[in-house]
Each structure stands twice: as structure tokens, then as C-alpha cells.
Structure 1
Amino acid sequence: MSERDVAAKADAVRAELAERESVLVAFSGGVDSSVVAALAHDALGEKAVACTAKSETLPEAELADAKRVADEIGIEFVTVEFSELDNPDFVVNDDDRCYHCRTMRLGRMYDAARERGIETVCDGTNASDPGEGHRPGLRAVEELEVFSPLLAHDITKDEVRAIADEYGLSVADKPSMACLSSRIPTGLEVTEERLSRVERAETILRTWGFEQFRVRDHDGLARIEVAPEELDYALDADFVRAARDHLKDAGFDHVTLDLHGYRTGSVSPAAEDDTAEEGAADDGDGDFLVDDVFAQDYPTRK
């Protein structure tokens, strides 16, 4: 990956966007959608809009961060609201959960675009995404004919981060963040109670300074995953006590620390992962419920 090649791809995206009268960017505030928003703002100025969809699966902290990044870019920021929990196909939490979520979310984006006389809706799908396993959210993108400029111009995840660096975006190195429903094992219904206690639990970890983590909700059992380099901190006695007390206050019956550390998609369909933005929440490679959390063979002392 040369700087010249990346710059040429970014120029090509700007040129193609400039040919459109206006665009609405499905905007999560993650690095992919932020780069699309920055390129669109460069190409179209006030005719580019960043739109974030508020729902029960979007943490309040992520919504606030999206607004901050949009201000950083200088692009107009709007929000729409909907509830995935109104759709029983989403609530049942099967292998197509992300497809149903993305369909609803992008449908609201199209509603917002029509209200503003905008014909083109863009998203942050990049060229690395299609090769990352089971990604039902991408099917919704294709069916709704959303324009994915990063994918169209073969811009990979590493190149997205390089472009973000060129723009000086604060999210250039931001870890991927799937929606809260990705913390609930496939087959266990997505409910407002479960989403709320996961959000409260992850707010506690964020307050303690953890950067790469998940709190998985196994029907009342909280399984904390943190990055390997943060594991020592998670084993600190003061944090252990705080996590136990605060997560129980958040609504969990039991609190555990996963010694494997943070892994993308440890509760959802095989080969899926949680790197997708803007509500795709494609998060997988486990597909087990509470009684299977520790169902592995471990060596024992004789």
C-alpha cells in the first residue's frame, strides 16, 4: 500500500461523489463512515449530510461520539429514530439478525434522504468487508442499492485508516464497535432489559479506562472480555470488586472474566465478526448459550 495509491483512490471517490447532486451518509462515527463523510463533505460541501440512526442497540456514548466526529469533519449531522425491537424477526436473534437490523436502519436513512430531496444514500462498507465471513448486513446493503464508495474503489480497511490519518480524524485508530445486540448469544431473544444492562456494564469498563472490550450477556451471566494487553488491569483486585458490585447493580446475576480475552464475535454465528459499522453488528464465531460458555476441555492437575 503506497501513499500515492491511497491518495489516488481517495481522489477517485471524491470525483465520483462530486458527480452526484447530494448524498446522505449512513454515519456511525466509526472510521469507515467517517472517511466517507469527510470525502463527501470535500466533494459536495453543504450538499452532503451525515445521518445516525438512534435505537435501543446504539450506546449513548457512540451517539455522542458520532456527533463530535461530524462536527470535527464539518458535515451537517442529523439523526433518525427507529426500534429494532418492533421487528419480531430481529428480536428472535437468529443468524439473520444483522440483516433485519440493517434493512430497518437503512430504510430510515432512505426516508430521511427523501425528506431532504437526496437520492443517494452512502455507507461505510469497505473492500475488506466482503471477505470477513458471514455478513448478512451486506445483503441488505445490496438489496437496498446503497452506494458504498470505499468498496466501489477497492479501498481496504488499512487504506481507510490511512485516509483518516491524512484528514487528521480522531477516529483513525478507533476500534470497531458493533451494536449492543451483538453481545447477546444467537438464539437468546434481544430485549430492552438485556441491551440496557450491557450498555450500563460497558459504560463501567469505559469509565475504568479499558479500550478494547465487550460484556457478553449470557441470560444474566456477564462475561467480560478485554484485550490481552489490558488483562492484567482487569485482574486488579480493586477493579474485580468494582466490576462485581456495579455489574450486579446493572442487573446481572453473575459476573465473570473471560481469560481468553477479547475476541470478535464470540457469541454469534460461525465465521461472522463484529467489525461492521452503522448498525450491521455482524458479530460471530461461537453460537453458544449460558450452559456452553465454559464447555471446553482443559488440562487438570493430577
Structure 2
Amino acid sequence: MNTEAKRDAALADLQAFDGALVAFSGGVDSAVVAALAAEALGDRAVACTAKSETLPADELEDAKRVAAEIGIRHEIVSFSELDSEAFARNDDDRCYHCRSMRLGKMFETARGLGIETVCDGTNASDPGEGHRPGLRAVEELNAYSPLLEADITKPEVRELAREYGLSVAEKPSMACLSSRIPTGLEVTEERLSRVEKAETLLRTWGFEQFRVRDHDGLARIEVGADELERALDPDFAAAVQDHLTDVGFEHVTLDLEGYRTGSVSPATTDGTGDERGTEGGAGDVFETEYPTPKR
């Protein structure tokens, strides 16, 4: 079945619902689900973004903008994962606890709007990609995954996003801020805040594919392979050590292996990890340190 046929199948399935609320991050997966729901259901489709400490402010603004592109009603609700000791403990099931709370908030909001169905952005490529405890929450809460049900893979999601003219069609996957904290190290508002500030700086400086990992006060910067040379520039080194220590890090390092998902994730049977699931203890890291500047 080609992509267009899969799209038609997803639309037909969605049209069978009285209405649908889409768990909406503003990333490419949830954006395509929102676009499908809006086409299938019109004003009976609602996108909903859950605002919390783990969602970067820039991502929330992106979600607002993309919802406007689609032309779908957009609701924003607030909750705190840090209210859950199980989440803050940051064990291998952190993503399960997060997704359970987040989707629970979606169902609560949907009920308030008189909507029975909550859709999420799980696609057909997701179940085979590493450690994904969050998928268990999707199954337990009985959220509906149109992309998965129609067997739409990640490349096909991007193809559909381009067809819908969505600005996020080529946007890299974005894990929540807690994914920057190794498993076993408590997730705190302080750690989330300094990671967000550090990544905002890298984005401001023009980097596109990167992560700032928080190893209990040590910032480990990963950038894409094509941006690594620029990150090694002495001027950047001087600037990054000043700014990242200003936002709360004690030491700053650059990972010479570059950006990769799951670099602090639990290993799977094939030796890889998964950032969009739970990230945990890192393996061997080859890095250069940007020393803490003297004050």
C-alpha cells in the first residue's frame, strides 16, 4: 500500500469518530495526526498541548504556530511531571510515568470537551526503535494511534507533512528535556532549567542538531557531525564555557562522537538506546573539556 492509500485509510478511520483530541507536541508526527484529524473531522478535531517543566518554551511556541498552520483548534493545559516521585526518580520507566500523566491529562481535557477519543503520534516505525516504555502507557490508556493503525512509517510521515505544507516536515525529533538527564540522576527543576537555557543558547548560535546532557553539573554537548568542526572553534569554546557556567553548569565538555539519540539511554539488545523512550547511563565517551573559567 502506498503512502496515499495509507493516508486515505487513516482519514476513513478518523471519520468514524464523533470527535478527536490530538496529543499535540508540534513535532512532525503529532502535526500530521492533527492535519489528518482536521481534514477528517473539521471543527470536531482539537489539538492539545500539555505544558510542563520538561517542555522547552520554544517548543510550546512552535506548537502554537503549527496548530495555526493546520487551522485546528488548539488547547493548552498545564501539569507537572515533578509531582510524581516515580518520574523524578528517573529510572528505566521514567518515560512510562511521563506518558501516563501526559495522556491522562489529555483524556481529562477530552472529557471536559465531550470528546471520547484521544489520538497520539505513534507511527509504524516506533515500536521497533529501542527502549520505548512510553508505548506501554499508550496501550494501557487506550489512546488511538492513527499513524500506527494505518502502518504509516516515519519517512511516510514526513512525506505527508510535505504534502500538507507543514513547516515541521523536516524538523528533527525532539525529546523532552528530562531525556538529557542520565537514568538514576534525579530529575529536578534546576537541572531541567539549565539544560533548556543551554540548548537555547546553542540554537541562538545557529546549531541545528544537538543536545546538552546534564551529568550532575557537567554539561556534555553533542552536535551533529557536520557541525562538529564549528564547535571545536576556539571562539566557540570560549563563549560556550562562559555562558553555560553562567546558567549553572560547573564544567562543560564537547563529545567528539557527536550527536546521537540515546547516548544516555538504557541499552537495548542490539546495543543501542532510545532517546524518545528513557535515557540512562552512557557508555564510553570521548570528549574534550571546556574548562570552567576563573572568576
TM-score range, shorter-chain basis?
over 0.9
TM-score (norm 2): 0.93
- Aligned: 1:30 with 2:27: yes
* Contact 1:23/1:40, CA 8 A, preserved across alignment: yes
The code of the aligned residue for 1:16 comes to: D
Superposed CA deviations along residues 15-67 of structure 1, whole A, max 9, x for unmatched, are 11111110000001000000000000001111100000000000000000000
Which residue of 2 is the match for residue 156 of structure 1? 153
Q: CA deviation at 1:283?
A: 4.4
Which residue of 1 is the match for residue 274 of structure 2? 273
State the distance in 2 between where 1:110 and 1:71 align.
22
Which residue of 2 is the match for residue 222 of structure 1? 219
Q: Unpaired segments of 5 or more residues in structure 2?
A: 288-295
Q: CA deviation at 1:268?
A: 2.1
Equivalent position to 1:245, from 242, 245, 250:
242
- Aligned: 1:39 with 2:40: no
State the distance in 2 between where 1:239 and 1:71 align.
36
Q: CA deviation at 1:175?
A: 0.2
Which residue of 2 is the match for residue 122 of structure 1? 119
Q: CA deviation at 1:237?
A: 2.0
State the distance in 2 between where 1:235 and 1:134 align.
32
The code of the aligned residue for 1:94 comes to: D
- Aligned: 1:205 with 2:205: no
Superposed CA deviations along residues 132-166 of structure 1, whole A, max 9, x for unmatched, are 12100000000000000100011000110110111
* Contact 1:266/1:283, CA 8 A, preserved across alignment: no
Q: CA deviation at 1:293?
A: 5.0
Equivalent position to 2:17, from 17, 20, 26:
20
Which residue of 2 is the match for residue 76 of structure 1? 73
Superposed CA deviations along residues 253-290 of structure 1, whole A, max 9, x for unmatched, are 0001000000101112113312xxxxxx4144x6149x
Equivalent position to 1:62, from 53, 59, 62:
59
Which residue of 2 is the match for residue 298 of structure 1? none
Q: Unpaired segments of 5 or more residues in structure 1?
A: 275-280, 296-302
Percent sequence identity over aligned pairs: 73
State the distance in 2 between where 1:103 and 1:175 align.
24
- Aligned: 1:52 with 2:49: yes
Structure 1 vs Structure 2 CA RMSD? 1.4
Which residue of 2 is the match for residue 282 of structure 1? 277
State the distance in 2 between where 1:218 and 1:24 align.
37
TM-score (norm 1): 0.91
Task: Note the 1:248-259 alignment, pairs <5 A.
Answer: 248-259=245-256
* Contact 1:264/1:283, CA 8 A, preserved across alignment: no
